[in-house]
A and B are shown apart, each in its own frame.
Chain A
Amino acid sequence: MSLLLLGISHHTAPIEERERLALPEAALPQALKLLAEQAGVREGLILSTCNRVEVLVEGAAEPADLLHFLAAATGGAPLPAPARFYHLAGEAAARHLFRVASSLDSLVVGEPQVLGQLKQAYAAAVAAGTIGLELETVLTRAFHAAKRVRSETAIASQPVSVSQAAVELARQIFGGLHQKTVLLLGAGAMGELAARYLMRQGASRLLVTNRTLQRAQALAQKYGGEAFALDQLRQHGELADVIITCTGAPQPLIARADAAHFLARRRGRPMLFLDVAVPRDVDPAVHQLENAFVYNVDDLDQVVHSNLAERQAEALEGEKIIEAELSLYLQRRQARDVVPTLRALQTQAEAVRLAEWERLRKRLGPLSAEQEQAIEALTRSLMQKWLHHPLVEIKEASSSADRQALVELAHRLFGLPRNSE
């Protein structure tokens, strides 16, 4: 199996480093095209979320190739230290993908967003034509595993996420959301979820702004809020008690001076900034202002702690499902691996049989139909009997290493053509 995965995530790097690598949705087609052009890359997928940037390829690429690709795709900015990246191959890469899809590798285990993000990444790769049979197989299986983990464990019954963190922080700062105004800045999925949750928890007013006003208006209409253009942020920002930001902007949209301006106009009433964007939308210096509290995605696990132990127990159940799904995937994957070999063996045997039979027929001269049939049956049965044991051995080898060895052996012993795949 020639899967290779290279990534950086919240486990290995802080947000300051991750945000330099983030690839916004709009940049994906270009990046995928670039990825497909890399030497040794036959199929490829790019997953870029708040918490991780991962590149999954099928082919003969090396981790260093993917690092070069990332550097090129993100505009040649200096990459984080190589130690920040992990790279996994074959089975390990598949397992990692399954765990990511099932939210077992997430900052907030059990959060539902990552699966949607992976599906979007898949759709983008399909659109860019970089998905082939191999990635199709492993991704389909990963989605299936994620679905099983969600439905068969209680991992998602505590939908712990930005939304809950927002509610908890609002409780600590404002005592609750009653009579509070929420401003949603950007139209990202995570922000939308959080805003909807806050409204359900009793926030009284929702304001929405976005780079494209229509999108903001659509969102505002959906949740009974009011929309305004992004360039009016400075006028309206002060109205918000809670600001949720989730744009794909490369630079912070709320600078320290903006926040200071809001706070002065609010006469010091506190403001909570929930920055779920990567790269960040709120200048971290805003947190230093009196009465301003800025929490980014990395701070989330600090905020949400409820039922951590329970969720860990559920995560263990999830891991078991992942292993089961993984072995199923590997079996099918490997069964498919040996098919060309089996077929080549049979084809070769048949070719030999036919060739020998032709030679014999020339020497013997005309034969009766009965004789022809008898010889045909004899040779065929000889070949089948002779091949039966090797074929079964290869097909049912217990481990992948065994199977690989047998396939290799078959190729050598029978002189099978090399590029049978």
Chain B
Amino acid sequence: MHSLLQFSLLWARVALGFYLAGLAAAIAAALTRQRGLQDAVFGLARGAVAAGFLFQFVGLAETLAAAALGPATFYRIITGLLALIIAAFFLMVYRAYSPRTLSLLVVPLICVLTAAATLEPSGAHGGPSPMAQSLLHNGWIYVHIALIFLGYAGLVMAVGSGVLYLIAERALKAKSHPLSPERALPSLEALDLIGYRSLLVGFPLLTAGLVIGAYWADALFGGIALSDPTVLLALLAWSVYLVLLFARWSAGWRGRRSAYLSLVCFGLALAGWFANGLSRMHSLFLR
């Protein structure tokens, strides 16, 4: 079983290598002015990310198959999972719209998460409580995490395209020079649509993840503690997420406003992620 775990780590590192290669290719392509060459290099970048995705998937599957769900591997699994999900989202969006510059924002994030997931388990963690131990062997916790991560991945894509939207819109408003790099960004409408569809996919998944979490919290702790920072921030992020979608449907908020709101939402989600250590319920697994 131990060797399987070793392998999974190796696959994760191979995946990281591919992601980094993809990032390098994306940067190189963005710096290339020649159209044909740029197409080819961006193709390489996309291929590298796809390869990284496959290796990471294999690595994660092996970790789970090894049932090595000890506390030491847990953190690795969930960061890897988050990277994997964002990569999947990115590849799907890329397939539909090929927003090249978006890769410059999203691929670095995938790289960082994957790198975090390939760190050797330090063993310094004390190990979770018996209750957490039993939870780790229950599949629902992974469903909870995976769903929330999917929601976050949608948010990441929305924020990425939102930032690009703000840059592109600014360039158009300023009537900047046509050779300036901002003018090579995807069209405003495409960026807006990517953001919107990412949110649309992410929202129900996040909602489901939160509901499952709430259900488990109720069973384990006898209710949801709103004073718990992770819970509070997650609920806040979810509400902004909801407002974001609702404002678009009802008031036609899109483009700039939508981009700003998704940034707020992303900030809350990020804060929630870092607040895990402060959360009574969520720090169970991290001790």
A and B co-occur in one complex: yes
Contact surface of A with B, Cβ cutoff 8 Å:
168-169, 171-176, 264, 266-270, 287, 290-291, 293, 295, 299, 302-305
- Residue from B168, B173, B256 with most neighbouring chain A CB atoms (10 Å): B173
Contacts of B187 in A (CB 8 A): 171-176
Contact sample, A vs B, 10 pairs, CB 8 Å cutoff: A168-B178, A172-B172, A172-B185, A173-B187, A174-B188, A267-B252, A269-B252, A269-B254, A299-B175, A302-B176
Q: List the 6 closest pairs (A to B, CB-CB), nearest first.
A: A267-B252, A175-B187, A268-B252, A305-B178, A268-B254, A175-B190
- A290 and B253 CA atoms in complex are apart in Å by 11
- Using known A-B contacts A173-B189, A175-B186, A175-B187, determine if residue A303 contacts B254 with beta carbons closer than 8 Å: no
B177 on the A face (CB < 8 A):
yes
- A175 and B194 CA atoms in complex are apart in Å by 13
Main secondary structure of the interface of A (DSSP, over half): mixed
B183 on the A face (CB < 8 A):
yes
Q: Is the CB of A304 within 8 A of B178?
A: yes
B154 on the A face (CB < 8 A):
no
B179 on the A face (CB < 8 A):
yes
B255 on the A face (CB < 8 A):
yes
Chain B residue nearest to A302 in the complex (CB): B175
Contacts of A171 in B (CB 8 A): 187
Distance of B97 from chain A, by nearest CB (Å) = 9
Contact surface of B with A, Cβ cutoff 8 Å:
168, 172-173, 175-179, 183, 185-190, 251-257
Q: Is the CB of B252 within 8 A of A293?
A: no
Contacts of A173 in B (CB 8 A): 172, 187-189
- A269 and B251 CA atoms in complex are apart in Å by 11
Distance of B168 from chain A, by nearest CB (Å) = 7
Chain A residue nearest to B177 in the complex (CB): A302
Q: Is the CB of A287 within 8 A of B188?
A: no
Distance of B140 from chain A, by nearest CB (Å) = 40
- A173 and B185 CA atoms in complex are apart in Å by 10
Main secondary structure of the interface of B (DSSP, over half): loop
Contacts of B183 in A (CB 8 A): 172
Q: Is the CB of B186 within 8 A of A291?
A: no
Contacts of B252 in A (CB 8 A): 264, 266-269
- A303 and B176 CA atoms in complex are apart in Å by 9
Distance of A171 from chain B, by nearest CB (Å) = 6
Q: Is the CB of B179 within 8 A of A305?
A: yes
Q: Is the CB of A293 within 8 A of B172?
A: yes
Q: Is the CB of A175 within 8 A of B255?
A: no
- A169 and B168 CA atoms in complex are apart in Å by 12
Distance of A306 from chain B, by nearest CB (Å) = 9
Distance of A274 from chain B, by nearest CB (Å) = 13
Contact of A290 among B175, B176, B177, B255 (CB under 8 A): B255
Distance of A117 from chain B, by nearest CB (Å) = 25
Distance of A275 from chain B, by nearest CB (Å) = 13
Distance of B191 from chain A, by nearest CB (Å) = 9
Q: Is the CB of B255 within 8 A of A291?
A: yes
Q: Is the CB of A175 within 8 A of B189?
A: yes
Contacts of A267 in B (CB 8 A): 251-252, 254
- A314 and B84 CA atoms in complex are apart in Å by 54
Distance of A271 from chain B, by nearest CB (Å) = 11
Chain B residue nearest to A298 in the complex (CB): B175
Q: Is the CB of B255 within 8 A of A268?
A: yes
- A38 and B188 CA atoms in complex are apart in Å by 54
Chain B residue nearest to A241 in the complex (CB): B189
Chain A residue nearest to B97 in the complex (CB): A175
Contact of B253 among A176, A268, A304 (CB under 8 A): A268
- Residue from B189, B190, B253 with most neighbouring chain A CB atoms (10 Å): B189
- A175 and B173 CA atoms in complex are apart in Å by 17
Contacts of A295 in B (CB 8 A): 175
Contacts of B179 in A (CB 8 A): 305
Contacts of B176 in A (CB 8 A): 302
Distance of A176 from chain B, by nearest CB (Å) = 8
Q: Is the CB of B189 within 8 A of A270?
A: yes
Distance of B165 from chain A, by nearest CB (Å) = 11
Contacts of B168 in A (CB 8 A): 172
| Given A269-B254, A290-B257, 20 extra CB contacts under 8 A | A168-B178, A171-B187, A172-B187, A173-B172, A174-B187, A174-B188, A174-B189, A175-B186, A267-B251, A267-B252, A270-B188, A270-B255, A290-B255, A291-B255, A302-B175, A302-B176, A302-B177, A302-B178, A305-B177, A305-B178
Contacts of A293 in B (CB 8 A): 172-173
Chain B residue nearest to A168 in the complex (CB): B178
Distance of A369 from chain B, by nearest CB (Å) = 88
Contacts of B251 in A (CB 8 A): 267
Chain B residue nearest to A306 in the complex (CB): B178
Chain A residue nearest to B188 in the complex (CB): A173
- A395 and B45 CA atoms in complex are apart in Å by 75
Distance of B195 from chain A, by nearest CB (Å) = 13
Contacts of B190 in A (CB 8 A): 175
Chain B residue nearest to A171 in the complex (CB): B187
Distance of A38 from chain B, by nearest CB (Å) = 40
